[in-house]
Amino acid sequence: MPDPNTGPSTPLKTNVLYYGDNLDVLRKYVPDASVDLIYLDPPFNSSRSYNVLFRESGGASSEAQIEAFEDTWEWGPAAARAYEDVVTGPHQQVARMLKAMVEGLGRNPVTAYLTMMASRLVELHRVLKPTGSLYLHCDPTASHYLKMLLDAVFGPTHFLNEVVWKRTYAHSGAKRFGPVHDIILSYAKTASFTWNHQKQKYSEEYKDSFFRFTDSDGRRYRSTILTGSGLRSGESGNPWRGVNPSQVGRHWAVPGYVRPLFGDPPPNGVHEALDRLDQIGRIIWPQKIGGTPSFKQYIDDLDGVVFQDVWNDIPPLSSQSKERLGYATQKPLDLLERIIRASSNPGDVVLDPFCGCGTAVHAAQKLGRRWIGIDITYLAIGLIRRRMQDAFPSTGRSDSEESSDSMSSGQAPGLQIEEIGAPVDLNGAKALAEHDKYQFQWWALDRLGAQPVSGRKKGADQGIDGVIPFVIGGTAAAPQYARVIVSVKGGGVGVPMVRDLIGVLQREKEPIGVVLTLEPPTGPMRREAASAGIYHSEFWQKDYPRVQIITIEELLHGKLPEMPPSTSPFAQAPRERQRGKQLELG
Protein backbone atom coordinates (compact mmCIF):
# COMPACT_ATOMS: atom_id res chain seq x y z
CA MET A 1 0.00 0.00 0.00
CA PRO A 2 1.47 3.39 -0.95
CA ASP A 3 2.42 5.92 1.68
CA PRO A 4 -0.65 8.23 1.99
CA ASN A 5 1.68 11.17 2.48
CA THR A 6 3.65 10.72 -0.74
CA GLY A 7 1.33 8.96 -3.18
CA PRO A 8 2.05 6.06 -5.55
CA SER A 9 5.17 5.74 -7.64
CA THR A 10 3.40 4.07 -10.60
CA PRO A 11 3.00 6.02 -13.87
CA LEU A 12 -0.17 8.06 -14.28
CA LYS A 13 -2.92 6.58 -16.47
CA THR A 14 -5.30 8.88 -18.28
CA ASN A 15 -8.62 8.50 -20.09
CA VAL A 16 -9.56 6.06 -17.36
CA LEU A 17 -12.59 5.61 -15.08
CA TYR A 18 -11.96 4.39 -11.55
CA TYR A 19 -14.72 2.67 -9.60
CA GLY A 20 -14.27 3.10 -5.86
CA ASP A 21 -13.74 5.54 -3.00
CA ASN A 22 -11.84 8.50 -4.43
CA LEU A 23 -9.63 8.74 -1.36
CA ASP A 24 -8.38 5.20 -1.92
CA VAL A 25 -8.04 5.72 -5.67
CA LEU A 26 -6.05 8.93 -5.27
CA ARG A 27 -3.64 7.31 -2.83
CA LYS A 28 -3.21 4.16 -4.90
CA TYR A 29 -3.16 5.39 -8.49
CA VAL A 30 -2.47 9.14 -8.81
CA PRO A 31 1.16 10.26 -8.34
CA ASP A 32 2.32 13.53 -6.80
CA ALA A 33 2.14 16.65 -9.01
CA SER A 34 0.65 14.81 -12.00
CA VAL A 35 -2.67 16.63 -12.61
CA ASP A 36 -3.15 20.04 -14.26
CA LEU A 37 -6.75 20.81 -13.32
CA ILE A 38 -9.23 19.44 -10.79
CA TYR A 39 -12.97 20.02 -10.88
CA LEU A 40 -15.17 18.53 -8.18
CA ASP A 41 -18.84 18.81 -7.38
CA PRO A 42 -19.19 16.77 -4.17
CA PRO A 43 -22.76 16.06 -2.99
CA PHE A 44 -23.67 17.91 0.18
CA ASN A 45 -26.38 16.85 2.60
CA SER A 46 -29.32 17.85 0.43
CA SER A 47 -31.42 14.99 1.87
CA ARG A 48 -32.45 13.96 -1.59
CA SER A 49 -31.89 10.95 -3.78
CA TYR A 50 -29.76 11.14 -6.91
CA ASN A 51 -31.27 9.43 -9.91
CA VAL A 52 -29.97 8.41 -13.30
CA LEU A 53 -32.31 8.32 -16.28
CA PHE A 54 -31.61 5.79 -19.00
CA ARG A 55 -32.85 5.89 -22.57
CA GLU A 56 -34.08 3.08 -24.73
CA SER A 57 -31.88 2.06 -27.67
CA GLY A 58 -34.32 3.73 -30.04
CA GLY A 59 -33.76 7.04 -28.27
CA ALA A 60 -37.12 7.16 -26.50
CA SER A 61 -37.26 7.98 -22.81
CA SER A 62 -37.17 4.97 -20.54
CA GLU A 63 -39.01 4.39 -17.30
CA ALA A 64 -35.70 3.15 -15.90
CA GLN A 65 -34.96 5.94 -13.45
CA ILE A 66 -32.56 4.58 -10.88
CA GLU A 67 -31.88 5.87 -7.42
CA ALA A 68 -28.08 5.88 -7.48
CA PHE A 69 -27.48 7.02 -3.91
CA GLU A 70 -28.92 9.16 -1.16
CA ASP A 71 -27.08 12.38 -0.39
CA THR A 72 -27.10 12.09 3.38
CA TRP A 73 -24.28 12.30 5.89
CA GLU A 74 -24.23 11.13 9.48
CA TRP A 75 -21.62 11.36 12.23
CA GLY A 76 -20.87 7.73 12.96
CA PRO A 77 -17.91 5.39 13.32
CA ALA A 78 -16.65 6.10 9.79
CA ALA A 79 -16.73 9.89 10.32
CA ALA A 80 -15.06 9.51 13.72
CA ARG A 81 -12.23 7.43 12.22
CA ALA A 82 -11.74 9.91 9.38
CA TYR A 83 -11.66 12.78 11.88
CA GLU A 84 -8.97 11.06 13.95
CA ASP A 85 -6.92 10.40 10.81
CA VAL A 86 -6.92 14.08 9.92
CA VAL A 87 -6.36 15.41 13.43
CA THR A 88 -3.43 13.07 14.10
CA GLY A 89 -2.00 13.30 10.57
CA PRO A 90 0.91 15.38 9.23
CA HIS A 91 -1.20 18.24 7.83
CA GLN A 92 -1.68 20.12 11.07
CA GLN A 93 -2.93 23.37 9.51
CA VAL A 94 -5.86 21.41 8.11
CA ALA A 95 -6.20 19.45 11.36
CA ARG A 96 -6.51 22.63 13.41
CA MET A 97 -9.13 24.06 11.09
CA LEU A 98 -11.20 20.86 11.08
CA LYS A 99 -10.90 20.50 14.85
CA ALA A 100 -12.14 24.06 15.34
CA MET A 101 -15.13 23.40 13.08
CA VAL A 102 -16.09 20.17 14.85
CA GLU A 103 -15.70 21.72 18.28
CA GLY A 104 -17.66 24.78 17.23
CA LEU A 105 -20.44 23.11 15.25
CA GLY A 106 -20.63 19.77 17.03
CA ARG A 107 -20.61 16.23 15.66
CA ASN A 108 -23.41 16.28 13.12
CA PRO A 109 -24.06 15.69 9.40
CA VAL A 110 -22.35 18.96 8.41
CA THR A 111 -19.11 18.16 10.21
CA ALA A 112 -19.24 14.56 8.98
CA TYR A 113 -19.27 15.96 5.44
CA LEU A 114 -16.47 18.42 6.19
CA THR A 115 -14.36 15.65 7.71
CA MET A 116 -14.82 13.55 4.57
CA MET A 117 -13.83 16.53 2.43
CA ALA A 118 -10.76 17.49 4.50
CA SER A 119 -8.84 14.28 3.84
CA ARG A 120 -9.74 14.38 0.15
CA LEU A 121 -8.73 18.00 -0.34
CA VAL A 122 -5.32 17.17 1.11
CA GLU A 123 -4.91 14.42 -1.48
CA LEU A 124 -6.13 16.64 -4.31
CA HIS A 125 -3.59 19.29 -3.35
CA ARG A 126 -0.88 16.60 -3.44
CA VAL A 127 -1.68 15.44 -6.98
CA LEU A 128 -1.81 18.94 -8.50
CA LYS A 129 1.13 20.19 -10.50
CA PRO A 130 2.72 23.51 -9.40
CA THR A 131 0.90 25.11 -12.35
CA GLY A 132 -2.41 23.45 -11.44
CA SER A 133 -5.72 24.78 -10.20
CA LEU A 134 -8.74 23.39 -8.39
CA TYR A 135 -12.40 24.34 -8.82
CA LEU A 136 -14.82 23.19 -6.11
CA HIS A 137 -18.51 23.48 -7.02
CA CYS A 138 -20.95 23.79 -4.12
CA ASP A 139 -24.02 25.67 -2.96
CA PRO A 140 -24.16 28.57 -0.46
CA THR A 141 -25.17 26.17 2.31
CA ALA A 142 -21.64 24.76 2.48
CA SER A 143 -19.43 27.17 0.55
CA HIS A 144 -18.24 29.18 3.56
CA TYR A 145 -17.18 26.06 5.47
CA LEU A 146 -15.44 24.62 2.42
CA LYS A 147 -13.58 27.87 1.79
CA MET A 148 -12.13 27.71 5.30
CA LEU A 149 -10.93 24.15 4.62
CA LEU A 150 -9.49 25.18 1.25
CA ASP A 151 -7.68 28.12 2.86
CA ALA A 152 -6.09 25.65 5.27
CA VAL A 153 -5.09 23.24 2.47
CA PHE A 154 -3.93 25.68 -0.23
CA GLY A 155 -3.18 28.78 1.83
CA PRO A 156 -5.33 31.95 1.74
CA THR A 157 -2.96 33.67 -0.71
CA HIS A 158 -3.72 31.01 -3.35
CA PHE A 159 -7.44 31.73 -3.39
CA LEU A 160 -8.36 32.98 -6.87
CA ASN A 161 -12.10 33.40 -7.18
CA GLU A 162 -15.51 32.84 -5.73
CA VAL A 163 -17.50 32.42 -8.94
CA VAL A 164 -21.26 32.88 -8.70
CA TRP A 165 -23.15 30.83 -11.28
CA LYS A 166 -26.85 31.41 -11.78
CA ARG A 167 -27.86 27.75 -11.87
CA THR A 168 -31.62 28.08 -12.19
CA TYR A 169 -34.43 30.45 -12.94
CA ALA A 170 -36.52 32.41 -10.45
CA HIS A 171 -37.55 30.71 -7.22
CA SER A 172 -40.04 32.00 -4.68
CA GLY A 173 -38.47 31.54 -1.25
CA ALA A 174 -40.48 31.30 1.96
CA LYS A 175 -39.59 34.52 3.78
CA ARG A 176 -36.28 34.87 1.94
CA PHE A 177 -34.94 35.88 -1.45
CA GLY A 178 -35.15 33.13 -4.04
CA PRO A 179 -32.01 30.90 -4.08
CA VAL A 180 -30.86 30.68 -7.69
CA HIS A 181 -27.06 30.46 -7.61
CA ASP A 182 -24.20 28.08 -6.93
CA ILE A 183 -20.68 28.89 -5.77
CA ILE A 184 -17.48 27.73 -7.50
CA LEU A 185 -14.37 28.21 -5.36
CA SER A 186 -11.12 28.43 -7.31
CA TYR A 187 -7.61 27.91 -5.90
CA ALA A 188 -4.13 27.66 -7.42
CA LYS A 189 -1.35 25.48 -6.04
CA THR A 190 1.32 28.13 -6.61
CA ALA A 191 1.61 31.62 -8.06
CA SER A 192 2.68 30.16 -11.44
CA PHE A 193 -0.70 28.63 -12.27
CA THR A 194 -2.00 28.20 -15.81
CA TRP A 195 -4.40 30.92 -16.90
CA ASN A 196 -5.95 31.60 -20.29
CA HIS A 197 -8.03 34.77 -20.64
CA GLN A 198 -11.46 34.15 -22.08
CA LYS A 199 -13.76 36.82 -23.38
CA GLN A 200 -17.48 37.03 -23.98
CA LYS A 201 -19.08 39.05 -26.73
CA TYR A 202 -20.63 42.37 -25.92
CA SER A 203 -24.40 42.31 -25.70
CA GLU A 204 -26.56 44.19 -28.17
CA GLU A 205 -27.80 46.31 -25.28
CA TYR A 206 -24.22 47.29 -24.46
CA LYS A 207 -23.49 48.16 -28.09
CA ASP A 208 -26.64 50.26 -28.39
CA SER A 209 -25.80 52.12 -25.18
CA PHE A 210 -22.15 52.95 -25.90
CA PHE A 211 -21.64 52.83 -29.68
CA ARG A 212 -24.13 55.53 -30.53
CA PHE A 213 -22.35 57.19 -33.45
CA THR A 214 -22.23 56.08 -37.07
CA ASP A 215 -19.41 56.79 -39.51
CA SER A 216 -19.96 57.82 -43.13
CA ASP A 217 -19.49 54.19 -44.20
CA GLY A 218 -22.09 52.96 -41.71
CA ARG A 219 -19.66 51.64 -39.06
CA ARG A 220 -20.74 52.27 -35.48
CA TYR A 221 -18.24 53.81 -33.08
CA ARG A 222 -17.80 55.57 -29.79
CA SER A 223 -15.50 58.36 -28.61
CA THR A 224 -12.82 57.26 -26.11
CA ILE A 225 -10.54 59.58 -24.14
CA LEU A 226 -6.82 59.66 -24.94
CA THR A 227 -5.64 61.01 -21.60
CA GLY A 228 -5.14 59.61 -18.13
CA SER A 229 -5.41 61.29 -14.75
CA GLY A 230 -2.32 62.81 -13.13
CA LEU A 231 0.67 64.82 -14.31
CA ARG A 232 3.69 63.32 -16.04
CA SER A 233 7.12 64.88 -16.59
CA GLY A 234 8.01 62.95 -19.77
CA GLU A 235 6.65 63.11 -23.32
CA SER A 236 3.16 62.09 -22.25
CA GLY A 237 2.93 65.33 -20.24
CA ASN A 238 4.03 67.58 -23.11
CA PRO A 239 1.69 69.35 -25.57
CA TRP A 240 0.72 67.61 -28.82
CA ARG A 241 -0.78 69.49 -31.78
CA GLY A 242 -1.25 72.50 -29.53
CA VAL A 243 -3.13 70.64 -26.84
CA ASN A 244 -1.52 70.52 -23.37
CA PRO A 245 -3.15 67.91 -21.06
CA SER A 246 -1.09 69.12 -18.10
CA GLN A 247 -3.21 72.23 -17.91
CA VAL A 248 -6.09 70.12 -16.61
CA GLY A 249 -3.97 67.76 -14.50
CA ARG A 250 -3.82 64.92 -17.04
CA HIS A 251 -1.37 63.27 -19.47
CA TRP A 252 -1.51 61.57 -22.88
CA ALA A 253 -2.43 57.88 -22.60
CA VAL A 254 -3.06 55.68 -25.66
CA PRO A 255 -5.21 52.65 -24.71
CA GLY A 256 -3.50 49.28 -25.02
CA TYR A 257 -6.26 47.86 -27.21
CA VAL A 258 -5.20 50.16 -30.12
CA ARG A 259 -1.76 48.55 -30.47
CA PRO A 260 -2.83 46.15 -33.26
CA LEU A 261 -3.58 49.22 -35.41
CA PHE A 262 0.08 50.29 -35.49
CA GLY A 263 1.71 47.20 -37.01
CA ASP A 264 5.53 47.08 -37.27
CA PRO A 265 7.57 48.90 -36.27
CA PRO A 266 5.69 50.12 -33.18
CA PRO A 267 5.55 53.88 -32.64
CA ASN A 268 8.44 55.56 -30.87
CA GLY A 269 6.69 57.32 -28.03
CA VAL A 270 3.17 58.49 -27.34
CA HIS A 271 3.29 61.50 -29.69
CA GLU A 272 4.22 59.30 -32.67
CA ALA A 273 1.39 56.95 -31.68
CA LEU A 274 -1.05 59.85 -31.74
CA ASP A 275 0.31 60.96 -35.13
CA ARG A 276 -0.28 57.49 -36.58
CA LEU A 277 -3.82 57.37 -35.24
CA ASP A 278 -4.52 60.73 -36.82
CA GLN A 279 -3.09 59.54 -40.16
CA ILE A 280 -5.53 56.60 -40.30
CA GLY A 281 -8.51 58.71 -39.32
CA ARG A 282 -8.88 57.50 -35.77
CA ILE A 283 -8.63 60.88 -34.03
CA ILE A 284 -11.82 62.85 -33.37
CA TRP A 285 -11.05 66.57 -33.25
CA PRO A 286 -13.52 68.71 -31.30
CA GLN A 287 -15.05 71.77 -32.92
CA LYS A 288 -13.75 73.90 -30.09
CA ILE A 289 -10.21 75.08 -30.78
CA GLY A 290 -7.83 73.72 -28.16
CA GLY A 291 -10.25 71.02 -27.10
CA THR A 292 -8.85 67.61 -26.26
CA PRO A 293 -9.08 65.10 -29.12
CA SER A 294 -10.42 61.57 -28.56
CA PHE A 295 -10.07 58.13 -30.15
CA LYS A 296 -12.64 56.75 -32.60
CA GLN A 297 -13.28 53.18 -31.42
CA TYR A 298 -15.29 50.91 -33.71
CA ILE A 299 -17.29 47.91 -32.51
CA ASP A 300 -15.11 45.56 -34.55
CA ASP A 301 -12.03 46.81 -32.65
CA LEU A 302 -13.26 44.79 -29.70
CA ASP A 303 -13.04 41.03 -29.30
CA GLY A 304 -15.15 40.96 -26.15
CA VAL A 305 -14.86 41.60 -22.46
CA VAL A 306 -12.95 39.32 -20.06
CA PHE A 307 -15.29 37.11 -18.06
CA GLN A 308 -15.98 38.33 -14.55
CA ASP A 309 -16.80 36.24 -11.47
CA VAL A 310 -20.58 36.33 -11.92
CA TRP A 311 -21.78 33.93 -14.63
CA ASN A 312 -25.38 34.37 -15.70
CA ASP A 313 -24.88 33.58 -19.38
CA ILE A 314 -24.86 29.76 -19.04
CA PRO A 315 -28.44 28.60 -18.53
CA PRO A 316 -29.35 25.48 -16.56
CA LEU A 317 -30.22 22.29 -18.39
CA SER A 318 -33.90 22.24 -19.27
CA SER A 319 -36.03 19.12 -19.18
CA GLN A 320 -35.87 19.06 -23.00
CA SER A 321 -32.11 19.54 -23.27
CA LYS A 322 -30.31 16.99 -25.45
CA GLU A 323 -27.54 16.90 -22.82
CA ARG A 324 -29.86 15.96 -19.99
CA LEU A 325 -29.36 12.49 -18.53
CA GLY A 326 -31.71 12.80 -15.55
CA TYR A 327 -28.88 13.21 -13.03
CA ALA A 328 -30.01 15.71 -10.39
CA THR A 329 -26.67 17.52 -10.17
CA GLN A 330 -25.80 17.42 -13.88
CA LYS A 331 -24.06 20.60 -15.00
CA PRO A 332 -24.11 22.11 -18.51
CA LEU A 333 -21.23 21.19 -20.79
CA ASP A 334 -20.63 24.91 -21.46
CA LEU A 335 -19.90 25.50 -17.77
CA LEU A 336 -17.16 22.87 -17.65
CA GLU A 337 -15.72 23.95 -20.99
CA ARG A 338 -15.26 27.49 -19.66
CA ILE A 339 -13.39 26.22 -16.61
CA ILE A 340 -11.22 23.82 -18.62
CA ARG A 341 -10.32 26.41 -21.23
CA ALA A 342 -9.37 28.96 -18.56
CA SER A 343 -7.11 26.73 -16.45
CA SER A 344 -5.61 24.10 -18.76
CA ASN A 345 -4.12 23.62 -22.20
CA PRO A 346 -4.57 20.88 -24.82
CA GLY A 347 -2.91 17.68 -23.66
CA ASP A 348 -3.18 18.59 -19.96
CA VAL A 349 -4.73 16.22 -17.42
CA VAL A 350 -8.17 17.00 -15.93
CA LEU A 351 -9.35 15.10 -12.84
CA ASP A 352 -12.91 14.83 -11.50
CA PRO A 353 -12.98 12.77 -8.27
CA PHE A 354 -16.79 12.90 -7.97
CA CYS A 355 -17.54 12.44 -11.65
CA GLY A 356 -21.26 11.56 -11.38
CA CYS A 357 -22.63 11.61 -14.91
CA GLY A 358 -19.29 12.65 -16.45
CA THR A 359 -19.75 16.22 -17.70
CA ALA A 360 -16.19 17.21 -16.74
CA VAL A 361 -14.56 14.25 -18.51
CA HIS A 362 -16.85 14.82 -21.52
CA ALA A 363 -15.73 18.46 -21.76
CA ALA A 364 -12.08 17.46 -21.29
CA GLN A 365 -12.22 14.92 -24.13
CA LYS A 366 -13.99 17.43 -26.37
CA LEU A 367 -11.31 20.06 -25.76
CA GLY A 368 -8.35 17.74 -26.34
CA ARG A 369 -7.37 17.20 -22.72
CA ARG A 370 -6.58 13.91 -21.05
CA TRP A 371 -8.76 13.00 -18.10
CA ILE A 372 -9.37 10.86 -15.02
CA GLY A 373 -12.82 10.17 -13.57
CA ILE A 374 -13.59 8.58 -10.19
CA ASP A 375 -16.95 7.58 -8.77
CA ILE A 376 -18.10 5.37 -5.93
CA THR A 377 -21.13 4.01 -7.79
CA TYR A 378 -20.75 1.59 -10.68
CA LEU A 379 -23.98 2.95 -12.08
CA ALA A 380 -22.16 6.24 -12.74
CA ILE A 381 -19.16 4.49 -14.29
CA GLY A 382 -21.37 2.62 -16.77
CA LEU A 383 -23.35 5.77 -17.55
CA ILE A 384 -20.19 7.79 -18.26
CA ARG A 385 -18.74 5.11 -20.52
CA ARG A 386 -21.92 5.00 -22.61
CA ARG A 387 -22.11 8.80 -22.68
CA MET A 388 -18.52 9.10 -23.89
CA GLN A 389 -18.88 6.40 -26.53
CA ASP A 390 -22.04 8.05 -27.83
CA ALA A 391 -20.36 11.48 -27.93
CA PHE A 392 -17.10 10.27 -29.51
CA PRO A 393 -18.04 7.31 -31.71
CA SER A 394 -14.97 7.49 -33.98
CA THR A 395 -12.24 8.49 -31.57
CA GLY A 396 -10.59 5.10 -31.34
CA ARG A 397 -8.66 3.78 -28.37
CA SER A 398 -7.67 5.97 -25.46
CA ASP A 399 -4.10 7.08 -24.91
CA SER A 400 -3.96 5.48 -21.49
CA GLU A 401 -1.70 2.59 -20.64
CA GLU A 402 -3.79 -0.47 -21.44
CA SER A 403 -4.40 -3.43 -19.18
CA SER A 404 -6.23 -6.43 -20.58
CA ASP A 405 -7.52 -7.57 -17.20
CA SER A 406 -9.14 -4.21 -16.39
CA MET A 407 -10.87 -3.39 -19.68
CA SER A 408 -14.62 -3.85 -19.66
CA SER A 409 -15.62 -6.45 -22.24
CA GLY A 410 -18.05 -5.79 -25.01
CA GLN A 411 -17.52 -2.06 -25.28
CA ALA A 412 -19.09 -0.29 -28.22
CA PRO A 413 -16.91 0.86 -31.13
CA GLY A 414 -15.31 4.26 -30.77
CA LEU A 415 -13.66 5.67 -27.68
CA GLN A 416 -12.28 2.81 -25.61
CA ILE A 417 -12.15 3.63 -21.92
CA GLU A 418 -10.14 1.75 -19.34
CA GLU A 419 -12.02 0.93 -16.14
CA ILE A 420 -10.18 0.11 -12.94
CA GLY A 421 -11.71 -1.14 -9.72
CA ALA A 422 -14.57 -3.18 -11.18
CA PRO A 423 -14.49 -7.00 -10.95
CA VAL A 424 -12.59 -8.79 -13.69
CA ASP A 425 -12.94 -12.35 -12.35
CA LEU A 426 -15.30 -14.49 -10.30
CA ASN A 427 -13.55 -13.78 -6.99
CA GLY A 428 -13.83 -10.06 -7.61
CA ALA A 429 -17.53 -10.42 -8.41
CA LYS A 430 -18.11 -12.35 -5.18
CA ALA A 431 -16.25 -9.73 -3.18
CA LEU A 432 -18.33 -6.95 -4.70
CA ALA A 433 -21.58 -8.84 -4.00
CA GLU A 434 -20.59 -9.23 -0.35
CA HIS A 435 -19.56 -5.58 -0.06
CA ASP A 436 -22.54 -3.95 -1.79
CA LYS A 437 -25.31 -5.92 -3.48
CA TYR A 438 -26.52 -2.89 -5.46
CA GLN A 439 -23.10 -2.13 -6.93
CA PHE A 440 -22.78 -5.83 -7.82
CA GLN A 441 -26.19 -5.75 -9.48
CA TRP A 442 -25.37 -2.63 -11.51
CA TRP A 443 -21.98 -4.02 -12.53
CA ALA A 444 -23.50 -7.35 -13.64
CA LEU A 445 -26.25 -5.62 -15.64
CA ASP A 446 -23.70 -3.38 -17.31
CA ARG A 447 -21.59 -6.39 -18.34
CA LEU A 448 -24.74 -8.00 -19.73
CA GLY A 449 -25.64 -4.87 -21.69
CA ALA A 450 -28.87 -4.31 -19.74
CA GLN A 451 -30.39 -1.10 -18.46
CA PRO A 452 -30.91 -1.14 -14.68
CA VAL A 453 -34.43 -0.37 -13.51
CA SER A 454 -34.23 -0.84 -9.75
CA GLY A 455 -32.56 1.26 -7.11
CA ARG A 456 -31.96 0.92 -3.40
CA LYS A 457 -35.58 1.04 -2.29
CA LYS A 458 -36.81 -2.37 -1.23
CA GLY A 459 -39.56 -3.71 -3.45
CA ALA A 460 -39.25 -0.90 -6.00
CA ASP A 461 -38.12 -3.26 -8.77
CA GLN A 462 -41.24 -5.51 -8.77
CA GLY A 463 -38.99 -8.43 -9.68
CA ILE A 464 -37.18 -6.61 -12.51
CA ASP A 465 -33.54 -5.66 -12.05
CA GLY A 466 -32.77 -4.77 -15.65
CA VAL A 467 -34.10 -4.79 -19.20
CA ILE A 468 -32.66 -5.18 -22.69
CA PRO A 469 -34.90 -3.75 -25.43
CA PHE A 470 -35.05 -5.35 -28.88
CA VAL A 471 -37.06 -4.77 -32.03
CA ILE A 472 -40.10 -6.93 -32.80
CA GLY A 473 -41.45 -5.02 -35.79
CA GLY A 474 -42.46 -1.64 -37.12
CA THR A 475 -40.35 0.51 -39.40
CA ALA A 476 -37.05 2.36 -39.20
CA ALA A 477 -39.02 5.52 -38.45
CA ALA A 478 -41.27 3.86 -35.86
CA PRO A 479 -39.80 0.61 -34.53
CA GLN A 480 -41.72 -1.55 -32.08
CA TYR A 481 -39.85 -2.88 -29.06
CA ALA A 482 -40.11 -5.75 -26.61
CA ARG A 483 -37.83 -6.34 -23.62
CA VAL A 484 -35.69 -9.04 -22.12
CA ILE A 485 -36.38 -9.02 -18.37
CA VAL A 486 -33.26 -9.59 -16.25
CA SER A 487 -33.18 -10.79 -12.65
CA VAL A 488 -29.80 -10.65 -10.86
CA LYS A 489 -29.09 -13.01 -7.98
CA GLY A 490 -25.98 -12.60 -5.85
CA GLY A 491 -26.87 -15.12 -3.16
CA GLY A 492 -28.18 -18.66 -2.95
CA VAL A 493 -29.99 -20.22 -5.90
CA GLY A 494 -33.14 -22.29 -6.24
CA VAL A 495 -36.19 -23.10 -8.37
CA PRO A 496 -38.35 -20.30 -6.84
CA MET A 497 -36.25 -17.59 -8.50
CA VAL A 498 -36.96 -19.12 -11.94
CA ARG A 499 -40.67 -19.40 -11.17
CA ASP A 500 -40.72 -15.80 -10.00
CA LEU A 501 -39.18 -14.66 -13.29
CA ILE A 502 -41.76 -16.65 -15.29
CA GLY A 503 -44.46 -14.88 -13.31
CA VAL A 504 -42.92 -11.48 -14.08
CA LEU A 505 -42.84 -12.33 -17.82
CA GLN A 506 -46.52 -13.22 -17.72
CA ARG A 507 -47.39 -10.06 -15.79
CA GLU A 508 -45.34 -7.76 -18.03
CA LYS A 509 -46.31 -9.63 -21.23
CA GLU A 510 -42.64 -9.81 -22.26
CA PRO A 511 -41.18 -12.66 -24.34
CA ILE A 512 -37.74 -13.40 -22.81
CA GLY A 513 -36.31 -13.49 -19.30
CA VAL A 514 -32.78 -14.04 -17.96
CA VAL A 515 -31.69 -15.12 -14.49
CA LEU A 516 -28.14 -13.80 -13.96
CA THR A 517 -26.70 -15.67 -11.01
CA LEU A 518 -23.46 -15.61 -9.08
CA GLU A 519 -23.81 -19.23 -7.94
CA PRO A 520 -24.10 -22.15 -10.40
CA PRO A 521 -27.75 -23.14 -11.07
CA THR A 522 -29.12 -26.48 -9.92
CA GLY A 523 -30.47 -29.15 -12.26
CA PRO A 524 -34.10 -28.49 -11.17
CA MET A 525 -33.57 -24.78 -11.96
CA ARG A 526 -32.48 -25.56 -15.52
CA ARG A 527 -35.44 -27.93 -16.00
CA GLU A 528 -37.82 -25.24 -14.70
CA ALA A 529 -36.33 -22.72 -17.13
CA ALA A 530 -36.66 -25.18 -20.03
CA SER A 531 -40.32 -25.75 -19.14
CA ALA A 532 -41.07 -22.11 -20.01
CA GLY A 533 -40.72 -23.02 -23.68
CA ILE A 534 -39.61 -21.11 -26.74
CA TYR A 535 -40.25 -17.58 -28.00
CA HIS A 536 -40.64 -17.46 -31.77
CA SER A 537 -39.94 -14.09 -33.40
CA GLU A 538 -41.99 -13.59 -36.55
CA PHE A 539 -40.00 -10.48 -37.34
CA TRP A 540 -36.61 -12.19 -37.12
CA GLN A 541 -37.84 -15.66 -38.08
CA LYS A 542 -35.94 -17.30 -35.26
CA ASP A 543 -36.58 -19.18 -32.00
CA TYR A 544 -35.16 -18.15 -28.62
CA PRO A 545 -35.37 -19.84 -25.18
CA ARG A 546 -38.05 -18.02 -23.23
CA VAL A 547 -36.20 -18.29 -19.89
CA GLN A 548 -32.40 -18.45 -19.77
CA ILE A 549 -29.91 -18.85 -16.93
CA ILE A 550 -26.46 -17.26 -17.22
CA THR A 551 -23.85 -17.43 -14.48
CA ILE A 552 -21.46 -14.58 -13.69
CA GLU A 553 -18.57 -16.86 -14.60
CA GLU A 554 -20.12 -17.48 -18.02
CA LEU A 555 -20.75 -13.76 -18.40
CA LEU A 556 -17.09 -12.99 -17.66
CA HIS A 557 -16.16 -15.41 -20.45
CA GLY A 558 -18.37 -13.60 -22.95
CA LYS A 559 -21.69 -15.44 -22.80
CA LEU A 560 -24.71 -13.23 -23.53
CA PRO A 561 -28.46 -13.89 -23.79
CA GLU A 562 -29.92 -15.52 -26.87
CA MET A 563 -32.13 -12.72 -28.18
CA PRO A 564 -32.80 -10.57 -31.24
CA PRO A 565 -30.38 -7.68 -31.85
CA SER A 566 -30.91 -4.63 -29.64
CA THR A 567 -28.83 -2.06 -31.55
CA SER A 568 -29.17 -0.79 -35.14
CA PRO A 569 -31.93 -3.34 -35.76
CA PHE A 570 -33.03 -2.15 -39.19
CA ALA A 571 -29.49 -2.14 -40.51
CA GLN A 572 -29.21 -5.77 -39.42
CA ALA A 573 -32.74 -6.90 -40.22
CA PRO A 574 -33.51 -9.26 -43.14
CA ARG A 575 -34.47 -7.53 -46.34
CA GLU A 576 -37.64 -9.52 -46.78
CA ARG A 577 -40.22 -10.87 -44.38
CA GLN A 578 -41.53 -14.45 -44.40
CA ARG A 579 -44.47 -13.63 -46.69
CA GLY A 580 -42.31 -11.80 -49.21
CA LYS A 581 -43.11 -8.30 -47.97
CA GLN A 582 -40.27 -5.83 -48.39
CA LEU A 583 -39.02 -4.45 -45.06
CA GLU A 584 -39.66 -0.71 -44.90
CA LEU A 585 -36.38 1.07 -44.27
CA GLY A 586 -37.31 4.70 -44.95
Taking only the tens place, the pLDDT of each residue in 49-103 is 444 433 333 333 333 334 444 445 788 898 999 999 999 999 999 999 999 999 9
Task: Return the pLDDT at 454.
Answer: 62
Taking only the tens place, the pLDDT of each residue in 468-521 is 999 998 887 788 899 999 999 998 899 999 999 999 999 999 999 999 999 999
Task: Return the pLDDT at 48.
Answer: 43
Taking only the tens place, the pLDDT of each residue in 310-332 is 998 888 877 667 777 766 678 99
According to CATH, the topology of domain 427-572 is Trna Endonuclease; Chain: A, domain 1 (3.40.1350)
* CB of 152 closer than 8 Å to CB of 94: yes
Q: Which residues pair with 310 in a beta bridge?
A: 164
Taking only the tens place, the pLDDT of each residue in 187-227 is 999 999 999 988 887 777 888 888 888 888 888 899 999 99
Give the orientation angle of helix 77-87 with respect to helix 109-127, to 10 degrees. Answer: 50
Q: Is 98 exposed, middle or buried (0-12, 13-18, 19+ CB in 10 A)?
A: buried
Q: Is the peptide bond before 265 cis (omega within 30 degrees of 0)?
A: yes
* CB of 545 closer than 8 Å to CB of 562: yes
- Phi then psi for residue 559, to 5 deg, are -75, 135
Regions of the chain where pLDDT drops below 50: 1-2, 45-71, 396-412, 568-569, 571-586
Q: How far apart (Å, rounded) are the C-alpha atoms in residues 365 and 371? A: 7
Strand order in the sheet with 512-517: 451-452, 466-474, 479-489, 512-517, 547-551
SS3 530: helix
* 35-40 vs 49-55, strand pairing mode: unpaired
Q: What is the DSSP string of 102-164?
A: HHHH-SSHHHHHHHHHHHHHHHHHHHEEEEEEEEEEE-TTTHHHHHHHHHHHH-GGGEEEEEE
Rounded to two decimals, the pTM is 0.78
Query: CA nearest 489: which of 553, 577, 557, 551?
Result: 551
Q: What is the DSSP string of 452-469?
A: E---SSTTTTTT--EEEE
Q: How far apart (Å, rounded) are the C-alpha atoms in residues 342 and 334? A: 12
CA 273 to chain centroid: 48
Task: Return the pLDDT at 23.
Answer: 95
For CATH 3.40.50.150, list the domain ranges present in the chain. 16-198+307-422
CB atoms near residue 51 (< 10 Å): 16
Q: Which residues pair with 200 in a beta bridge?
A: 305
**N-to-C CA span, the chain:** 59
Instruction: Tell whether domain 16-198+307-422 is in CATH 3.40.50.300.
Output: no
For CATH 3.40.1350.10, list the domain ranges present in the chain. 427-572
